[in-house]
């Protein structure tokens, strides 16, 4: 893992060469002596460790009684072999009769995760790489180097990220589809909303470009900035297209309506967009606690807004001209009355004078 550029700050408490003593029990000798392994281990746990037996009150104080061997009898590893255990006949048998001590090396501690023996490794994404790229690098290294029967699992936020996978991509596509349907209902056309949708990639490209230039990661903060960015850029595109649609309904050609919409909305879009960009500057140069999150969300929004505004005022009228020309003469609903009686027409009541009956 240290050879991969996507990961940094790797460390682990796991050590396989920690010096230790291993107790080896000869089961056959233990059975001959009438010793059960459970009884022997319980005795060893009490003598080397301790066990709470009872408590009593004296002088208005509570005293606890622990059973444990004297320190002088458990000072050295070899002292374990000098301890005794009782067999099934009530006789005392030394541990040295069925046990021996061997020096070895192994793990300094044994951790378990979901009942499996584990070794915990911690790390993070290197500068310029996202957490998703770091996770993918770990998975690639594990697939190449781990022997059969070994696997990896995740903890904390990484576990949630791996479990959800590319869920954010699907959510983003659903949002785009929902926006498209709303615009289709507003413009009464399946083609005009595409002018808004296809104007967004310019801003998204600018967002990722500035994030990459600043050496930041595409994390949850950047994705929040993208969601905000899509709404703002879509609003700018809607302003131009809405005005162009109104001018086209008044009799202008699609080309002239696109030019008129771009001219009319050029100054308002630049004023609001650059005011928003100026407000993002403190986030981009933020320092102190939480600076990375502030810089990421600010950079994502600033880069996308800058590119989306500069290129959007040129791209959106062109897209409207393309899709407006395709949509000209086509209606969302066939044989629709453009001027229904309930809109713009006042109801009239006609009174006629009739001759009275004879």
Which pLDDT score is estimated for 62?
93
Distances, alpha carbon 291 to alpha carbons 209, 276, 305, in Å: 20, 20, 21
User: Is residue 232 over pLDDT 70?
Assistant: yes
Nearest one of 261, 265, 239 to 250, comparing CA atoms: 261
Which pLDDT score is estimated for 348?
46
Indicate the SS3 state at residue 9: strand
Domains of the chain from N-terminus onward: 27-97 (3.30.2090.10), 167-327 (1.20.1640.10)
Which pLDDT score is estimated for 341?
42
* 243-296 residue pLDDT tens: 888 888 888 888 888 888 888 888 888 888 889 889 888 888 888 887 888 888
Which pLDDT score is estimated for 332?
53
| Mean pLDDT for the stretch of residues 88-97 | 88
Which pLDDT score is estimated for 339?
43
Q: pLDDT band at residue 340, thresholds of 50, 70 and 90?
A: very low
The torsion angles phi and psi of 238, rounded to 5 degrees, stand at: -65, -35
User: Could you tell me how many residues make up the chain?
Assistant: 358
Q: Percent of the chain, pLDDT > 70?
A: 90
- Candidate from 219-228, 237-246, 256-265 with smallest mean pLDDT: 219-228
Which pLDDT score is estimated for 61?
92
Which pLDDT score is estimated for 342?
40
> CA–CA separation, 300 vs 226, rounded Å?
7
User: Is residue 3 over pLDDT 60?
Assistant: yes
Task: Tell me 342's DSSP state.
Answer: T
Whether residue 308 contacts residue 230, with contact meaning beta carbons closer than 8 Å, is answered with no
User: Is residue 38 over pLDDT 50?
Assistant: yes
Q: pLDDT band at residue 326, thresholds of 50, 70 and 90?
A: confident
| Mean pLDDT for the stretch of residues 349-353 | 50
Distances, alpha carbon 128 to alpha carbons 208, 209, 210, 282, 302, in Å: 11, 12, 11, 21, 18
Cα dihedral: 55, 58, 59, 62 (round 10): 10
> CA–CA separation, 56 vs 62, rounded Å?
6
User: Is residue 124 over pLDDT 70?
Assistant: yes
Whether residue 31 contacts residue 24, with contact meaning beta carbons closer than 8 Å, is answered with no
| Mean pLDDT for the stretch of residues 339-357 | 48
Residue-averaged pLDDT of the chain: 82
Comparison of pLDDT for 168 and 5, the residue scoring more: 5
CB atoms within 10 A of CB 271: 10
Which pLDDT score is estimated for 330?
61
Nearest one of 126, 131, 120 to 8, comparing CA atoms: 126
Nearest one of 205, 270, 286 to 236, comparing CA atoms: 270
Which pLDDT score is estimated for 335?
53
User: Is residue 1 over pLDDT 70?
Assistant: yes
Half-sphere exposure of 159 (CA within 13 A, CB side): 6
Which pLDDT score is estimated for 343?
43
Report the first-to-last Cα separation within the chain, whole angstroms. Answer: 110
Cα diameter, the chain: 139
Which pLDDT score is estimated for 355?
58
| Mean pLDDT for the stretch of residues 217-236 | 82
Nearest one of 101, 114, 128 to 7, comparing CA atoms: 128
Q: pLDDT band at residue 321, thresholds of 50, 70 and 90?
A: confident
Q: Flag whether the pTM goes above 0.75.
A: no
Distances, alpha carbon 39 to alpha carbons 31, 85, 166, in Å: 12, 8, 54
Which pLDDT score is estimated for 12?
84
> CA–CA separation, 119 vs 219, rounded Å?
27
User: Is residue 241 over pLDDT 60?
Assistant: yes
Cβ within 8 Å of residue 41, ≥6 positions away: none
Nearest one of 234, 216, 203 to 297, comparing CA atoms: 216
User: Is residue 170 over pLDDT 70?
Assistant: yes
Distances, alpha carbon 231 to alpha carbons 108, 202, 206, 227, in Å: 54, 14, 15, 7
User: Could you give the residue ranges of the DSSP H alpha helices within the chain?
Assistant: 27-32, 37-48, 131-145, 157-164, 167-187, 192-197, 200-213, 220-249, 254-284, 291-327
Which pLDDT score is estimated for 165?
65
User: Is residue 175 over pLDDT 90?
Assistant: no
Which pLDDT score is estimated for 196?
86
């Amino acid at each position: 893992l240290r050879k991969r550029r996507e990961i940094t700050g790797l460390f682990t408490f796991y050590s396989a060469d920690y010096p230790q003593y291993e107790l080896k029990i000869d089961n056959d000798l233990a059975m001959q002596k009438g010793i059960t392994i459970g009884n022997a281990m319980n005795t060893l746990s009490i003598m080397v460790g301790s066990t709470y037996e009872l408590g009593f009150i004296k002088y208005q104080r509570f005293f606890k009684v622990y059973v444990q061997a004297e320190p002088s009898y458990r000072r050295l590893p070899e002292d374990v072999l000098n301890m005794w255990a009782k067999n099934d006949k009530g006789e005392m048998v030394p541990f040295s009769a069925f046990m021996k001590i061997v020096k070895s090396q192994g793990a300094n501690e044994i951790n378990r995760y979901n009942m499996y023996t584990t070794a915990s490794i911690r790390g993070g994404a290197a500068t310029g790489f996202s957490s998703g790229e770091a996770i993918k690098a770990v998975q690639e290294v594990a697939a190449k180097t781990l022997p059969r029967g070994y696997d990896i699992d995740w903890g904390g936020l990484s576990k949630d990220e791996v479990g959800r996978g590319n869920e954010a991509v699907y959510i983003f596509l659903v949002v785009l589809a929902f926006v498209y349907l709303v615009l289709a209902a507003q413009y009464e056309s399946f083609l005009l909303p595409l002018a808004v949708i296809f104007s967004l990639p310019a801003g998204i490209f600018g967002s990722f470009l500035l994030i990459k230039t600043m050496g930041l990661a595409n994390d949850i903060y950047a994705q929040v900035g993208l969601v905000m960015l899509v709404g703002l850029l879509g609003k700018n595109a809607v302003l131009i297209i809405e005005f162009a649609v109104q001018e086209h309904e008044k009799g202008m050609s699609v080309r002239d309506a696109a030019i008129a919409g771009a001219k009319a909305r050029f100054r308002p879009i630049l004023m609001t967009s650059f005011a928003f960009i100026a407000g993002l500057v403190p986030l981009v140069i933020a320092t102190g606690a939480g600076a990375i999150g502030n810089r990421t969300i600010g950079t994502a929004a600033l880069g996308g807004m800058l590119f989306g505004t500069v290129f959007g005022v040129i791209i959106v009228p062109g897209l409207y001209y393309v899709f407006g020309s395709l949509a000209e003469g086509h209606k969302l609903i066939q044989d629709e009355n453009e001027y229904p009686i309930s809109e713009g027409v006042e109801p009239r009541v006609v009174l006629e004078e009739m001759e009275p009956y004879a």
